Amino acid sequence: MTLHLFLQRAAVSAGVLILAIGLAVAQTAPAPNPAPAPNAPAQPGTAPGGDGARGDWRAAARDACRSQVGNDLRGEDRREAMRKCMTERRGAGAGPQLSEAERGRIRELRGADRTSQKEARKACREGLKNQRLTEDERRTGIEECIAKDNPRFAKALACRREADSKKLEKRSGPYRDFMRSCIRGA
């Protein structure tokens, strides 16, 4: 066997070994986060309402419900299980006690807000439709157009841009915590 052939086979073998090790490392699960207290006490004056304010009890209850429901459910089944778990936690004194009528009113307000948001987005898209803009310019234009009419969206947009400037990864815990505190003005 020549030296050249021996070195070639050794290099290929080393590459395969490195690939196998990389795949094995990528497959290991990260260490689980410590679970928060399942029934965190409610903060005074922090009831969910039409203004979007949520108490600190809700984050702890939501995390506990996520771990209880698990990852095996998807879509509507998962939403229903989470809804049931959150209702049980609220009934156990984890949060503000709201009547079904109050919850219905809050849902209606949020639904109306979503509908008006969709209509505003559609109107802004139509206004920018005939302009020659890049994708980023068009997205920014739509966001600024909506922010002119909706102060809550303007506040959320400013917070989102600040989070981006701080290089917080979207959909991560620190990003969500920052957005909640920023939108509340804390």
Alpha-carbon span 33 to 17, nearest angstrom:
32
Alpha-carbon span 16 to 11, nearest angstrom:
9
The pairs formed by 165-172 with CB atoms below 8 angstroms and a separation of 24 or more are: none
pLDDT above 80: residue 137: yes
* pLDDT, tens digit (0-9, with 9 covering 90-100), for 159-181: 998 999 999 988 888 898 899 88
Q: Is 5 exposed, middle or buried (0-12, 13-18, 19+ CB in 10 A)?
A: exposed
User: pLDDT class for 7, splitting at 50, 70, 90?
Assistant: confident
* Cβ pair 61, 40 in contact under 8 A: yes
* pLDDT, tens digit (0-9, with 9 covering 90-100), for 42-67: 444 444 443 444 456 677 788 888 88
User: What pLDDT, on a 0 to 100 scale, did the predictor assign at position 29?
Assistant: 59
User: What pLDDT, on a 0 to 100 scale, did the predictor assign at position 31?
Assistant: 58
